[in-house]
Amino acid sequence: MKQFKAKIISNKKIAPGHYILSFKAPKTAKNTKPGQFFNIRVSQTYEPFLRRPFSAHKIARNKIEILYKVVGKATEILSMKKKGDILDVLGPLGNGFDLETGVSSVFLVAGGHGVAPLYALAEQIIRGKSRALIFIGGKTKKHIVSDKELKELGAKVYISTEDGSKGYKGLITDLVIRHCKAASRLAMTTIYACGPKPMLKEVAKLARRYKMPCRVSLEEYMACGIGTCLGCAVKTRTGFKLVCKDGPVFDSREIIWT
Ligand SMILES: Cc1cc2nc3c(=O)[nH]c(=O)nc-3n(C[C@H](O)[C@H](O)[C@H](O)COP(=O)(O)OP(=O)(O)OC[C@H]3O[C@@H](n4cnc5c(N)ncnc54)[C@H](O)[C@@H]3O)c2cc1C
Ligand code: FES
């Protein structure tokens, strides 16, 4: 983990309220794993006071991309950044995704901007010659991002929206369950998921029912991002763990879902 000043290469709006920001990170990118995150100070003033965590979306040789949704003050400030501006970045932080060995296909399940850390993972899976099926759910079509890029990468993409404006009408877990039934009869399949807690809880239930290994990336409010403030604790079967330091990726069976 390292604190560094990163020059912004680009900051583009990709969909309503969603942006991809790319920053230079020649020494950091090669040490960054899919699922790890960066705690970013978006302003040189104390407004906002705390850094904000963002997952590595794409990891290239010299740069990192983050995909973010504007939801409040920090992300709004971030959306106004321009090429050449400097960010104060801490990272890479957290454990990241570990790929199971001997897996023939992988299900990646994303709720809205939960797709952010799954792109880099899909890239790694496809490079390793396993099949990646990605399920992206959102409230409406405005909440579905990165589907085109993932298709171009070679992933099989399934989409659901609650209002039916894109893909299947309903919850993404409805689509996942259909594939779990088929996958449980075939070779080993692992699930990786990132999104809102209710979705992760459902995915964890499915994984248990179909006896599939499952890793979830949790999002909790964070302050330090490095395990000192204890602000991001989650209840697990072996006591409280810190999302920033012990996670954000956990075995779904480890979490006590509330
Ligand atoms: C490990 C990790 C990785 C993340 N990666 C990404 C990413 O790649 N892309 C992305 O868009 N966002 C990501 N997030 C969430 C992102 O950090 C928050 O959206 C951001 O901090 C919001 O800051 P803000 O000042 O704009 O909004 P705030 O004013 O702080 O919050 C606005 C709204 O968002 C909700 N919110 C804010 N932070 C969280 C959180 N951590 N968990 C649940 N709800 C929250 C608040 O309840 C509030 O309703 C990640 C969070 C974590 C913990
Ligand atoms: S954010 Fe401080 S301990 Fe996790």
Q: Where are the domains of the chain?
A: 2-93, 105-216
Pocket perturbation via mutation, ligand 2, pick of 39, 40, 228 by most ligand atoms within 8 A of CB: 228
Q: Atom 23 in ligand 1: which residue has the minimum CA distance?
A: 74
Measured between alpha carbons, how far is 39 from 158 in angstroms, rounded to an integer?
30
Question: Hey, what are 214's tokens?
Answer: 């499952």
227 lines ligand 2 (CB under 6 A): yes
Q: Looking at domain 2-93, which CATH architecture does it have?
A: Beta Barrel (2.40)
Measured between alpha carbons, how far is 70 from 77 in angstroms, rounded to an integer?
9
Residue 97: closest CA among 213, 18, 228 = 213
DSSP H or E run through 220: none
Cβ atoms 227, 245 nearer than 8 A: yes
Report the nearest atom of ligand 1 relative to the CA of 94. 1
17 lines ligand 1 (CB under 6 A): no
Q: Residue 107 pairs with which residues in a beta bridge?
A: 133, 191
Q: What is the pTM of this model?
A: 0.95
pLDDT of residue 209: 92
232 C-alpha to ligand 2 centroid (Å)? 5
Cβ atoms 8, 22 nearer than 8 A: yes
Give how far Cα 169 sits from Cα of 160, 162, 164, 201, 250, Å.
6, 6, 4, 20, 29
58 lines ligand 1 (CB under 6 A): no
69 C-alpha to ligand 1 centroid (Å)? 8
Task: State in words which class domain 105-216 has.
Answer: alpha beta
Beta strands in the chain (DSSP E): 2-15, 18-24, 37-41, 52-55, 58-59, 63-69, 86-93, 105-111, 131-138, 156-161, 168-169, 189-194, 214-217, 233-236, 239-242, 249-251
First and final C-alpha spacing in the chain: 31
Report the nearest atom of ligand 2 relative to the CA of 245. 4
pLDDT by position in tens, the chain (length 258): 689 999 999 999 999 999 999 999 999 999 999 999 999 999 888 888 899 999 999 999 999 999 999 999 999 999 999 999 999 999 999 999 988 777 778 999 999 899 999 999 999 998 887 889 999 999 999 999 999 999 999 999 999 999 999 999 999 999 999 988 877 766 688 999 999 999 999 999 999 999 899 999 999 999 999 999 999 999 999 999 999 999 999 999 999 998
